[in-house]
Structure formats: C-alpha cells, structure tokens
Amino acid sequence: MDEKLLLVAFLGFCAGYLFRIIIGSYKIFMEMGFFVDACADDCLKLIGETVYKTSYAEQLCYNVLKELDLEGSKLLKIQMEQQFEEWKIETINAFIKSYPKHYTWQLQYRNWDEAMAKLTHIYKREKLIDENSDQRLG
C-alpha cells in the first residue's frame, strides 16, 4: 500500500511539474506576444513619422526648385515620388520579413496601405486613451 501511495505521489508531482512548465511557457509566450505587438506599433509610428517628415522635406525641395527651373522641378518631383514609393514598399516588406516568425499571426497588415490603416487606428486609440485620462484628471 505504501509503495502505491508513493508512486501516486511521485506521478502527481511529475504531472504538476509538467503542468507548471506548460502553463508557464504559455504565459511567457503570450507576454512576449504583447511585447512584440507593442514594439511593432512603435516601429510603425516611427515609420509614419519618417514618411511625414520626408514628404515635408521633399515638398520644400520641390517648391524651391519650382521657382528656379519649372521643367527640371517637374522631372525631379516625378523621380522623388517614384523613389519614395519604392522606399515605402521596401520598408514595409523588410519590416514584415523581419517580424518574428512565431508571432506573425498577430501581424494585421501585409502591405503599405494596410500598415497605414493600422497606424491610423493606433493614433485614434492613443488619442482616445489620452482624452479619457484627461477627463479623469479634470
């Protein structure tokens, strides 16, 4: 009888230990998923800020060149727009390619337009959070 009780206790310990490992691993995996998602949102915001500032700088450059040489400025604007479009595609493709394989299930975009829609959603969510926190403080 004591041997059976000892065997049951040992098997119970082993089962509990395995259960703890499985649950702990799942918890860590999910926490990393939240971390990766937050980092992806921050990277997307950085890309969006870069796009905004680059567009602004190109527009200033175009306006200055337009005053100096109209035909050359049109050609330069077309060239800059093509390069900018290529850059956007390359950037989002590199971002998606670099995304951790185990977490690609949470990636909600596959091209530039979808990424910008996600960025708009992030900005709206943050604005809503800021407004709610301001209301609680006021």
**41-52 tens-digit pLDDT:** 999 999 999 989
Phi, psi torsion values for 110, nearest 5 degrees:
-130, -5
Give the pLDDT confidence of 71-92 residue by residue, as tens digits: 777 788 888 889 999 999 999 9
pLDDT value at 15 more than 70: yes
| Number of Cβ atoms within 10 Å of the Cβ of 23 | 10
pLDDT value at 136 more than 70: no
Distance of alpha carbon 91 from alpha carbon 79, whole angstroms: 18
Q: Which amino acid is at 82?
A: Q
| Number of Cβ atoms within 10 Å of the Cβ of 115 | 22
pLDDT value at 60 more than 90: no
**Strand, helix or coil at 1?**
coil
What is the reported pLDDT for 77? Answer: 80
What is the reported pLDDT for 11? Answer: 92
Block residue for tokens 């049951």: 8
Question: Which among 57, 62, 56, 54 has a CA at the least distance from the CA of 78?
Answer: 62
